[in-house]
Amino acid sequence: MRTTSFQSPFLRAVFACACTAAPWIAQAQIAAPMPAMRTEGAVQYMCGGIGSDESTAMRAAMKDHPLSLLFARADGAYLAEVAVTIRDAKGATALAVRASGPVCLINLPAGRYTIEAASEGVAKKQDVTIGGGPKTADFRF
């Protein structure tokens, strides 16, 4: 007699494997690849967010970094290839990069900084104070 319920040792084994693997598979599908963290002097940073999975993952990670930068056009369309310079309170360059995506996550020491961003012939500045929680600077061009 052929068994089609979970009384069959084979079906029990298949079911057990599926139940054990399901959370791992679900987690693998959720975890989007993130760009590599880079270092310039005392500053670590990553820029990216191209594609919905990477953008979602980077936005979720914003809370884990002292400074996040967002770049978009006035109509809300994301921008990449934005020239970014971050200067400390003394005017020294802490970071100078070309953002390869609309989101940058930056690990800066506590202090006051001026962020300069330029795209499509337009330059903008924002001052931020790092320390006491994550900060976000949103640049619209």
Per-residue pLDDT reduced to its tens digit, 50-62 = 989 999 999 999 9
The mean pLDDT of 86-114, rounded to a whole number, is 97
Are 112 and 127 in contact by the 8 Å Cβ rule? The answer is: yes
Residues 6+ apart with CB under 8 A from 139: 69, 70, 71, 72, 82, 117, 119, 124, 126
What percent of the chain is predicted at pLDDT more than 70?
A: 77
Higher pLDDT, 18 or 96: 96
pLDDT at 33: 81
pTM of the model: 0.76
pLDDT exceeds 70 at position 22: no
Neighbouring C-alpha atoms within 13 Å toward the C-beta of 94 = 23
Tell me how far apart the alpha carbons of residues 19 and 134 are, in angstroms, rounded to a whole number.
Answer: 38
Higher pLDDT, 129 or 41: 129
Residue identified by tokens 């949103």 is: 138
Are 47 and 56 in contact by the 8 Å Cβ rule? The answer is: no
Per-residue pLDDT reduced to its tens digit, 68-97 = 999 999 999 999 999 999 999 999 999 999
pLDDT at 14: 42
Tell me how far apart the alpha carbons of residues 26 and 94 are, in angstroms, rounded to a whole number.
Answer: 39
pLDDT at 84: 98
Per the prediction, the chain carries an average pLDDT of: 85
